[in-house]
Amino acid sequence: MVDAATSTTRWLADVADRAVSLISAFQDRSGAYPASPNFSAYAGYCWFRDGAFIADAMSAAGRYDSAEAFHRWAATALIGWRGRVDAIGAATSILHVEHLLLPARLRLDGSEASDEWANHQVDGYGTWLWALGEHLRRTGSPAEPWLPAIEVVVDYLLAVGTMPCFDWWEERPPGVHPSTIACVAAGLRSASGMGVLDAARNHAARAECDALLERLAWGASSTGYLPKSEGSTAVDAAAIAAVGPLRVVGGSLGLATLATVEARLVDGAKVYRFEADQYYGGGPWPLLSAMLGLAWLEYGNEARARELLDWVVTTEDIRGWIPEQARGRLLHPEELAVWRGRWGPSATPLLWSSAMALRLIVALRPGLS
C-alpha cells in the first residue's frame, strides 16, 4: 500500500514534470522564453526578469540545457549593447542618454520592440546576473566564457541601478523600488563572486552591493518592512523576492516584510501584487504564492511553504497550465471588464507561474522524500 507521504511526493513530481514539459515545449529555438505563448500582449516577447526566474527554475530542476540556451540568448543581446552601455557610463547626465537605456523585454529573436511599453526596468538585468551565477554554481561551469556579457551588465547596473525606473509590474510613474534594488544587489553580488571581474569592476560591484543593502535597510527604517517604493508605506509582493529566492534580505527585516505581505496581501494561500492593483481586477498570482513559499523556507517554515504550494497546484487547468492570475476575490472587480475588452482573457499559461511552482517543488523535495 502506498502511504500518504509517498503519494504526495509522486503527485508533486508529476506537477514538476508537467512544468518542465510546458516550459520546454514553448521555449523558442533562440533560447528565449515567451512570457505567455498565446496572450496577445505577451506572445512573442521575453522579459529578462521573467526569463531569468524561469531559467533558474529549469536549472534547479536539472534542465541545464534549457537554462543555458536562455543565458546564451541573453548574453548575445547584452554583448551587442556594449557601445550603448559605454556611452551611458561616459555621460555627464543621465538625461542625455535616456534613449540608450536598455529594454526590459525583447522579441524572441533578440531584436528590440518599438512600442510604447514601459520598457525601462533595471530589475531584469540584476536578476539575469543572479540566475547566471546560480546556474554556474550548480553546474560547476566556468564563468570566463560569459565575461563579456557579465561586464556589460555590471557596468550598466553601476551606471543606472539606482535611477528611477518602472517597477516589476511596469507601474507609472517611475520610482526607486526596493524590489528592483534587491535584484540589482543580488546581481552585483553574484558577479563579484564569480571571480572573473577585473579588480576595479569587482571592487565597484562589491561596494555598490553593500551600499544597496544599506539603502534597503534605511528605506525600511520608517515602516519596519520593505515598502513598494522609497518614501511609500504601500506593500508590494515583489519584495518577497529579496528574501527568497534572491536572499539579499534576511533577519528581522525579512521576517517583518513577509509578515506584512501576509497581513495585507494574502488571502489564505492566495497572494496579491499590491492593494491598488487594477490589472484584470487585481486577482491573486500563483507565482507570488510560490515565491512566498520559497521565502518562508529561508526561515525554516516548511509547513507554510507546503500550504502555499498546495494552492498553486490547484490553479493548474486540465492541460497542466498555470495562469498569471487565478480565480479568487478581486481587489478591484470593476476593472476586470476593461482589461478583458482590451486584451481578452488574462494570460494562460504564464511560463513564469509554472517556473515558480517548479522552483518551490525542487526546494521542498528533500522534505518530501
Candidates 106, 1, 11; CA nearest to 368 is: 11
pLDDT at 1: 44
Check residues 34 and 120 and name the one with the higher pLDDT: 34
291 grid coordinates:
515565491
List 271's β-bridge partners, or say none.
266
pLDDT band at 63 (very low <50, low <70, confident <90, very high): very high
Indicate which residue of 28, 167, 208, 298 is catalytic.
167
Indicate which residue of 123, 171, 316, 324 is catalytic.
324
pLDDT at 93: 74
pLDDT band at 225 (very low <50, low <70, confident <90, very high): very high
Q: CA torsion angle for 369, 54, 220, 282 (degrees, to 10)? A: -100
* Tens digit of each residue's pLDDT (9 = 90 or more) over 91-100: 877 777 888 9
Q: In 10 A of CB 52, how many CB atoms?
A: 31
Asked about 155 being catalytic, the answer comes back as no
> Which residue in this structure is represented by grid cell 497550465?
321
Indicate which residue of 86, 170, 275, 335 is catalytic.
170
**What are the Cα distances from residue 301, in Å, to 95, 125, 235, 269, 369?**
46, 30, 22, 14, 17
Residue 2 has pLDDT above 60, yes or no: no
Classify residue 230 as exposed, middle or buried by CB count within 10 Å of its CB (0-12, 13-18, 19+).
middle
348 grid coordinates:
494562460
152 grid coordinates:
556589460
Asked about 116 being catalytic, the answer comes back as no
